């Protein structure tokens, strides 16, 4: 197995976890599962964390312990550098992933969930593991589908399988057979990972990247994005690239990495792109010759209950496939970084997940 990637100075720290759950009971037991599992896991974990740590009345806005609360530090970790355009709290420190669409499961069936932690939120892994264990006892969703935590692995890198020519992830155990290996939880560097991923993608003999620099992108979970004051109703090249730049910029702010507060610059853009574009430190000249071909797009709604607003809300976004043509090699690490971090709004719920589909 290749050596784990080092964390380089001024890089965003992250761990990507693969969690294997097994539903309780024998095969005759049937569990009803929530349709939108990332929302159910976020709500469930939040409730378990409050049960474990809250010594107040759960009125977080008025709580005198708010600044030191473990739940706040996980779910709404403060930015060490706060840009002027950030007007409200954003859940930047974690992402929950689950694209499993099953609505029912039997006892003994398994479910995979992804969890990505950024920056100082990584140190709260043990609290999250305890919350996940308690959630398994109480059960997931309205029908309380109970489960056991079987295994948790951490991504350490990638390699090309020489037999199949496919890209494979490298993993190391964090939790297995009841044992926790915290020494294996050391983080990776986001940009270092993105550069490795870009190099491997470019080398892969089965990749769809051809001499024209065509890169296929598939959104597997809705991308919700405001662009020039309006929520997107169709895929847009500049909105997509700006969203990647903004996401990486804010993660650097989360880590307190000293970036120019105005690197979220407004630059003149070609007339076809609108009056301006926000580059977030990205060289926007790399965008100019790129064209976007939309293969398929579909509007999608994700209903959820907001504990903050105490009401049901509906999240809107786009799913589908597109191709980026004439992508310069220098832009590929940015695309690979956004692939891992998700982009747009509500990324903590797994929204904005796309794959470089190779």
Kindly state whether residues 218 and 303 are assigned to the same domain: yes
**How many residues are recorded in the chain?**
358
Kindly state whether residues 149 and 27 are assigned to the same domain: yes
Kindly state whether residues 119 and 212 are assigned to the same domain: no
Cβ atoms of residues 157 and 2 within 8 Å = yes
With respect to residue 310, please indicate whether it lies within any of the assigned structural domains: yes
Of 153, 174, 189, which closes a domain? 189
With respect to residue 3, please indicate whether it lies within any of the assigned structural domains: no
With respect to residue 52, please indicate whether it lies within any of the assigned structural domains: yes
Q: Which domain holds residue 214?
A: 196-356
pLDDT digits (tens, 9 = 90+) for 64-116: 888 888 999 999 888 888 887 776 666 899 999 999 999 999 999 999 999 99
Kindly state whether residues 239 and 115 are assigned to the same domain: no
Q: What is the pLDDT of residue 142?
A: 85
| Helix, coil or strand: residue 67 | helix
- Checking if the pLDDT of 206 tops 80, the result is no
Any residues with CB less than 8 A from the CB of 16 and at least 6 apart, and which? 114, 115, 116, 154, 155, 188, 340
More confident residue, 259 or 195: 195
More confident residue, 296 or 56: 296
With respect to residue 98, please indicate whether it lies within any of the assigned structural domains: yes
Of 165, 189, 213, which closes a domain? 189
- Total domains present in the chain: 2
Tell me the average pLDDT across 17-27.
96
The DSSP bridge pattern shows strands 147-160 and 13-23 to be antiparallel
Which helix or strand (DSSP H or E) is residue 332 part of?
Answer: helix 332-341
More confident residue, 175 or 215: 175
Of 168, 189, 210, which closes a domain? 189
pLDDT digits (tens, 9 = 90+) for 256-298: 987 664 455 555 445 444 556 677 878 888 888 899 999 999 9
The DSSP bridge pattern shows strands 104-106 and 13-23 to be unpaired
CATH number for the domain harbouring residue 305: 3.30.70.1900
CA 261 to chain centre: 24
Kindly state whether residues 180 and 228 are assigned to the same domain: no
With respect to residue 275, please indicate whether it lies within any of the assigned structural domains: yes
Kindly state whether residues 208 and 124 are assigned to the same domain: no
String of DSSP letters for 241-300:
HHHHHHHHHHHHHHHT----TT-S-EE---GGG-S-EE-TTS-GGGTTT-EEEEEEEEEE
Kindly state whether residues 33 and 173 are assigned to the same domain: yes
Kindly state whether residues 321 and 282 are assigned to the same domain: yes
With respect to residue 107, please indicate whether it lies within any of the assigned structural domains: yes
Q: What separation in angstroms does the CA of 275 have from each of 100, 128, 221, 289?
A: 40, 44, 29, 17
With respect to residue 348, please indicate whether it lies within any of the assigned structural domains: yes
Tell me the average pLDDT across 206-229.
77
Kindly state whether residues 161 and 223 are assigned to the same domain: no
Rounded CA-CA distance 47/137 in Å is 13
With respect to residue 8, please indicate whether it lies within any of the assigned structural domains: no
Q: Is the pTM of this model over 0.85?
A: yes
What angle do helix axes 237-255 and 332-341 make, rounded to 10 degrees? 70
């Amino acid at each position: 197995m290749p050596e784990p990637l080092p964390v380089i100075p001024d890089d965003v720290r992250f761990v990507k976890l693969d969690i294997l759950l097994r539903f309780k009971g024998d095969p005759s037991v049937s569990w009803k599962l929530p349709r939108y599992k990332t929302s159910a896991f976020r709500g469930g974990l939040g409730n378990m964390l409050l049960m474990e740590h809250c010594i107040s009345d759960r009125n977080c806005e008025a709580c005198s312990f708010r600044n030191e609360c473990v739940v706040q530090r996980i779910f709404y970790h403060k930015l060490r550098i706060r840009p002027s355009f950030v007007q409200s709290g954003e859940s930047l420190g974690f992402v929950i992933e689950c694209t499993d669409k099953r609505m029912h499961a039997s006892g003994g069936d398994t479910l995979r969930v992804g969890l990505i932690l950024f920056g100082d939120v990584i140190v709260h892994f043990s609290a999250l593991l305890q919350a996940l264990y308690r959630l398994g006892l109480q059960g997931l969703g309205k029908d309380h589908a109970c489960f056991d935590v079987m295994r948790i692995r951490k991504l350490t890198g990638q390699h090309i399988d020489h037999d199949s020519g496919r890209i494979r992830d490298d993993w190391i155990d964090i939790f297995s057979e009841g044992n926790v290996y915290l020494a294996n939880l050391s983080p990776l560097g986001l940009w270092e990972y993105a550069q490795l991923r870009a190099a491997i993608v470019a080398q892969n003999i089965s990749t769809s990247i051809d001499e024209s620099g065509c890169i296929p992108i598939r959104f597997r979970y809705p991308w919700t994005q405001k662009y020039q004051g309006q929520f997107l109703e169709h895929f847009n090249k500049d909105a997509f690239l700006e969203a990647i730049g903004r996401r990486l910029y804010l993660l650097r702010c989360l880590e307190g990495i000293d970036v120019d507060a105005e690197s979220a610059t407004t630059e003149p853009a070609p007339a076809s792109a609108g009056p301006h574009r926000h580059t977030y430190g990205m060289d926007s000249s790399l965008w100019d010759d790129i064209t976007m071909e939309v293969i398929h797009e579909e509007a999608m709604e994700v209903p959820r209950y907001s504990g903050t607003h105490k009401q049901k809300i509906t999240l809107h976004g786009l799913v589908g496939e597109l191709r980026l043509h004439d992508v310069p090699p220098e832009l590929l690490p940015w695309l690979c970084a956004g692939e891992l971090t998700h982009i747009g709004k509500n990324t903590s719920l797994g929204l904005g997940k796309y794959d470089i589909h190779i």
